[in-house]
Amino acid sequence: MGKVAIVTGAGSGLGQATAVRLAKDGVNIAVVDVNEKGGNETVEMVKELGAEAIFIKTDVSKAEEVKNYVDQTVEHFGTIDYFFNNAGISGSGAFYLDTTIEEIDQIVGINLLGALYGVRYVAEVMLKNGGGSIVNTASSAGVIGQDSVVTYSATKHGIVGLTKSMVAEYAKDGLRVNAIAPGPTETPMVKAFYEANPEMKANATGGIPQKRLGTPEEVAELVTFLLTSKAQYINGEVIRIDGGFTNTK
């Protein structure tokens, strides 16, 4: 059997693009998402490429559901080699003092607690098997401050801390943990955010030196490189993929 990857948020956007890209290299995929329709669509896309895939419906903000997707992956495939810890939401785009406590709780639950739970349970399996590779999804908002996304930005800065600190503790045991920091990218989540906040799309695009949004496929290439054996000596890095967006800040 080939390598095995868990991809969260795999029902669309960066997760779906990465699942498909990994499948092209023969990697079997545990597709994790709260969206059944999108998740099953990804499973079919992976299978069409000749890799094996299963869908596990999950609310990543709940620790017991995160443990379940890890357990189901091991039960089905026997191991976990790669983990793209990607599930997340952006929020409403309201300024922080206009943000409800319910929205804060939701963003923190999915983006930060979900990522922490995922690393907790996946790393446990990887270390028992001699190591593995994790890529966490941070954001341009995780390396600079941005308005209208205060809670989101706080969670993504947290992802950076999670990434670096896991390496400090477990690199010696064969674990590699890196993060990506995408700028504005053409995903359904970003499109929905910009539809609700059209002035922000113009501001964002205008601030990107390459004058365009990134694509999920471009991000998937980076994630695949970082996950696989081609990047064995890259560890604890937060790699920006944003067309130069944060380089100008």
- Residue 249 falls inside a structural domain: no
pLDDT exceeds 70 at position 203: no
At 219, which amino acid appears? Answer: V
From 117, 152, 170, 194, the catalytic residue: 152
Instruction: Note whether residue 171 is domain-resident.
Output: yes
HSE-CB for 32 with a 13 A CA cutoff? 27
Q: Which residue has the tokens 């939701």?
A: 106
Full residue range of the structural domain in which residue 181 is found = 4-240
Structural domain includes residue 203? yes
Q: Look at residue 201 and tell me whether its pLDDT is greater than 70.
A: no
What's the number of domains the chain is made of? Answer: 1
155, 199 contact by CB (below 8 A): no
Q: How far apart are CA 64 and CA 83, in angstroms?
A: 18
The pLDDT of residue 192 is above 90? no
Q: How confident is the model at residue 101 (pLDDT cuts 50, 70, 90)?
A: very high
Confirm whether 245 is domain-assigned. no
Instruction: Give 213-238 pLDDT, tens digit per residue.
Output: 899 999 999 999 999 989 999 999 99
Does residue 246 fall inside a structural domain? no
User: Which CATH number covers residue 48?
Assistant: 3.40.50.720
The string of pLDDT tens digits covering residues 24-67 is 999 999 999 999 999 999 999 999 999 999 999 999 999 999 99
Q: Is residue 116 part of a domain?
A: yes
Give the 3-state secondary structure percentages of the chain, helix then strand then coil, rounded to 5: 55, 15, 30
Count CB neighbours of 210 within 10 A. 12
Reply yes or no on whether 69 is catalytic. no
What does each C-alpha distance from 239 to 24, 44, 135, 182 come to in angstroms?
23, 30, 10, 8
Residue 166 lies in a domain: yes
Q: Hey, what are 60's tokens? A: 């990543």
What is the chain's Cα-based Rg? 17
**pTM of the shown model:** 0.95
Average pLDDT estimate for 10-27: 98
